[in-house]
Amino acid sequence: MRIAVCFSGQLRYSEETWLKTIEDIKYIFPTADFYYTTWDDQPKASFINRIYKQPKPTFNPLKDSIANYLKAYRRFKEKDWNDEDVPASYQARGYDGTKLRTEIKDLIRQMRSKGGYSNYQHLAHALTVRDFVVGKGYDLVVRARYDLSIDLALKKYINDFCQWVYEYSNPMGFHTKIVEKQRQTIDEHILCDYGVDMQYKSLTLHDFIIIHRADLFDPNLVFYNFEKKIQYPAEQGWYQILCKPYNLLPMTCSGFVRLLPSTAMVNEHFRYVMENPDDLSLRYNFSDPLKAVSTNLN
C-alpha cells in the first residue's frame, strides 16, 4: 500500500518541535513518502518542499457561530437569561452571567479577527495533495500538522487503521480525549483513552492527524468551496470535503495523538481543571457514538 504523508499549515513553536513531530510520524509510517508545505508568512525551514502564498480572507466561516454567541452575549448583558442561553461549550463550567459575558465577548472578538483563517488548513492540504499526490498512484494520504505529540505505541496499530480506511473508505481522524481525573502535570493530565468509534451522529472529522483514501479527496472541491465562500471551518470543514461528497461516516481515534501541551487551549483547560478538581464533566464530548467499529487497544 502506497502512502503519502502530507504536512501542511503553520510552523508553530520551534524547529526542534517540528523535527520531533516529523521524526515520530516517520517512525509510525516508515515506508511512506513525506511532503512538507507551509505558508509564506511562516518561519524558514530547510525541509519544506513548497511554500504557498497565503491568500487574504474573503469571508468568515464562523459567522453563524458569532451570531449565536452574540445572541447569548446580549442576553447576559441584559441580565435576562437562563440555563438554555448558555452556549454548550460553557454549560459545564457553572460561571455566573458577568464572567460568561466577559469570556464570550473576548471569544467573539477572536472569532471576528481570526475566523477568516479557520478553514485555511483545508486549503493547505488541498494544495499539497494537488501538487504531490494526484496522479502519483498513492492509495492513502495522511494529513498531519507540525505541532503534535505522538504516542509511539500507535505503530502497533497503524497497519490495521490504514487497512480499515482503505477497505471501508471511511476517513479516520485522531483527537485527544481528556481523562476525567485530576493530574499533577500537564503531560500527565492529557492522557488518552484509546478507542476507535464510528461517528454516526457527528458531522465533524477530527483533525490532529487524518488518514483518508487518495481517490476520495478532490482538491478542486476545496478550491470551489473557497471561491463560492462556503468552506466550513476546522472539523466541520474536514467532514464537508472528506465525508459528505462520498456519503461516508468519519471514524475517530481518541488517543495516540495530541497537540503539544504548550498550546494556549491546553494550558487554559489544564488551569481550569486545577481550579475545579471536582468537576468531572470537563472532558471532550464524543457525542455518544454507536460503536459499529471498535477495538480494545489496551
For CA atoms 177, 141, 52, 237, the dihedral sign is negative
pLDDT at 53: 96
- Together in a domain, 106 and 23: no
Could you report the per-residue pLDDT of 172-183, keeping only the tens digit for each? 999 875 443 333
pLDDT of amino acid 237:
95
Q: Do 92 and 223 belong together in one domain? A: no
CATH number, residue 158 = 3.90.550.10
Q: CB under 8 Å to 231, separation ≥6 — which residues? A: 61, 119, 122, 123, 222, 225, 237, 240, 241
pLDDT for 227:
94
Nearest to 115 by CA among 158, 74, 63: 63
Same domain for 220 and 103: no
Domain ranges, residue 19: 3-55+120-174+200-248+257-262
Look at residue 286 and tell me if it is in a domain. Answer: no
pLDDT in tens, 125-138: 999 999 999 999 99
The answer to whether residues 124 and 214 belong to one domain is: yes
> Is residue 101 located within the same domain as residue 207?
no
pLDDT of residue 177: 56
What pLDDT shows up at residue 94? 55
The reply to whether 93 and 228 lie within a common domain is: no
What pLDDT, on a 0 to 100 scale, did the predictor assign at position 71?
A: 75
All residue ranges of the chain with pLDDT < 70 are: 76-99, 177-202, 261-298
Q: Looking at residue 291, what is its pLDDT?
A: 30
Cα–Cα separations (whole angstroms), residue 221 to 179, 214, 230, 257: 37, 14, 11, 28
212 and 109 in a common domain: no
Q: Are residues 11 and 101 in the same domain?
A: no
Based on the domain organization, do 70 and 157 belong to the same domain?
Answer: no
pTM of this structure: 0.75
Number of independent structural domains in the chain: 2
Residue 271 falls inside a structural domain: no
217 in the same domain as 151:
yes
Q: Are residues 25 and 103 in the same domain?
A: no
For residues 106 and 141, state if they share a domain. Answer: no
What pLDDT shows up at residue 279?
53
How many other CB atoms sit within 10 Å of the CB of residue 34? 18
